[in-house]
Amino acid sequence: MKKALTLSLTAAALAMTSAMAFADTVTVVTSFPRDLTDPFKTAFEAAHPGTTLEVVSRNTNAAVSYLQETRSANAVDLMWASAPDAFEVLKADGLLAKVDVKADGIPDAIGGYPINDSDGTYFGFAASGYGIMYNTRYIKANDLPIAKEWDDLKRPEYYGHVAMSAPSRSGTTHLTVETVLQGEGWDKGWATWKWIAGNMNTVTERSFGVPDAVNSGATGFGIVIDFFGLASKASGFPVDLVYPSVTAIVPANIGVIKNAPNQAGAVKFVEFLLSPKGQETLLNPAIMRLPVNPAAYKNAPEGFPNPFSKDFAPGAIAFDVDLSGERYNLVNSLFDVMVTYRLNDLRAAVSAIQKAEAAQAKSGNAKAAELIAEARKLVEALPITEAESKDPSFTQVFTTSRAKPDTKVVGRQAEVEQGWDAFAVENYRKARELAEQAAKL
């Protein structure tokens, strides 16, 4: 009897210990690299002895899909990523909890954009801009000028010198794509992305593949979220970053998952991110993200961008997160069909047009100019209108996100994408053919 009682007490103690360990673990799914998450994990665990921050790494789109698929058996407390439209998707799906978070000194907006969700389901902890990162040694060796605007990257001299990640696999890249679409308009914005893509040497699967390529000198220019360029520069790589006129200043966010196993611990981590210590951690040379607390900039390195300054990105657009969220999958699908999976076809068409334009500039042949103009229209043509991109009955067709390269698309979305693909292939083929004819005149 005594032995049985002892065993029972031991089992109860083990169960209690296990429950306490579970309660003291905060699990966060995030798209951020370890260079960012590790310093926060260390600082948070030091500030809260006995608490463990467990980090699950997934790109933004994969994280959203994971949370949608596991809602009935949720084992995650927090979602932590840069893309506010991804949080809007989660919010619309009822996957985020409304919680009270204590934070001092953080304003309501940054660059005219709300820092926190008005309903209290997600919170901005850092600000982000989107720009062009470049390798200073590379551009000197290749005698290339610094590209300061998106339009610069469309020029022939940048052919083969640009890298970008696929927006379907990177929430930050999706924001960059959407920023240009909103800032320049649907038709002109897509034309900009196509001409830039025609100059690309790669479309990477992960967002950090771009700064890695620029850091190593594998490419000269990379389209990135700003902290990639700022962190690489602070770490001693021969790189720099510029903000084009058309950019957006939006918060990177964190949100507590509905029915989180450890909601109290999750709130503690959010409050830590927004505390003076958490904001100071953002200035770690490996992180270099823009704090949302203006007071943090007193300790920022010399020359560090300050989004609360009047001189910071004066042309930044008023980013429409609702519009971005509504057509999130559509924009990603359209980019993949027209660019990611048809990059070689697009590059061939753009290269042919560039050569034809160079020849026509010397010959002055009027017929060649007509053929080139027709070829350019074919490259820029779109299979859908801006009105369709805003029509819920159409955008809701796109339910599958290619968070992984082998993701299969089925049903109506697959039918639409097949039509888009045929459209792109034929247009790029015709454009190349016309440009080659023009070059001979």
Which pLDDT tens digits describe the chain residue by residue (441 residues)? 444 444 443 333 333 333 444 458 999 999 898 989 999 999 999 999 999 999 999 988 889 989 999 888 889 999 999 888 889 889 999 999 999 999 999 999 887 788 999 999 999 999 988 899 999 999 999 999 999 999 999 999 999 999 999 999 888 899 899 999 999 999 999 999 999 999 999 998 888 899 999 999 999 999 998 989 999 999 999 999 999 999 888 899 999 999 999 999 999 999 999 999 999 999 999 899 999 999 999 999 988 989 888 888 777 888 888 898 899 999 999 999 999 999 999 999 999 999 999 999 999 999 999 999 999 999 999 999 999 999 999 999 998 877 666 778 889 999 999 999 999 999 999 999 999 999 999
Asked whether 67 and 257 are in contact (CB, 8 A), the reply is yes
Helices within 75-126 (DSSP H only): 84-92
Residue 316 CA to residue 440 CA, distance in Å, equals 43
Q: How many CA atoms lie within 13 A of 411 on its CB side?
A: 6
Asked whether 379 and 353 are in contact (CB, 8 A), the reply is yes
Fill in the DSSP letter of residue 28: E
What single-letter amino acid sits at 168? S
pLDDT confidence of residue 73? 83
What tokens were used for 177? 């794509």
What single-letter amino acid sits at 109? A
pLDDT confidence of residue 405? 61
Q: What residues form DSSP beta bridges with 134?
A: 221, 240
pTM of the entire predicted model: 0.82
Phi, psi of 211 (to 5 degrees): -60, -30
Fill in the DSSP letter of residue 75: -
pLDDT confidence of residue 322? 87
Give the helix/strand (H/E) hosting 9.
Answer: helix 2-23
Q: What residues form DSSP beta bridges with 239?
A: 135
Show Cβ contacts of residue 234 under 8 Å, excluding neighbours closer than 6 positions: 285, 286, 288, 301
Label the pairing between strands 25-30 and 52-57: parallel
Query: What are the C-alpha distances in Å from 189 to residues 151, 184, 292?
Result: 10, 5, 29
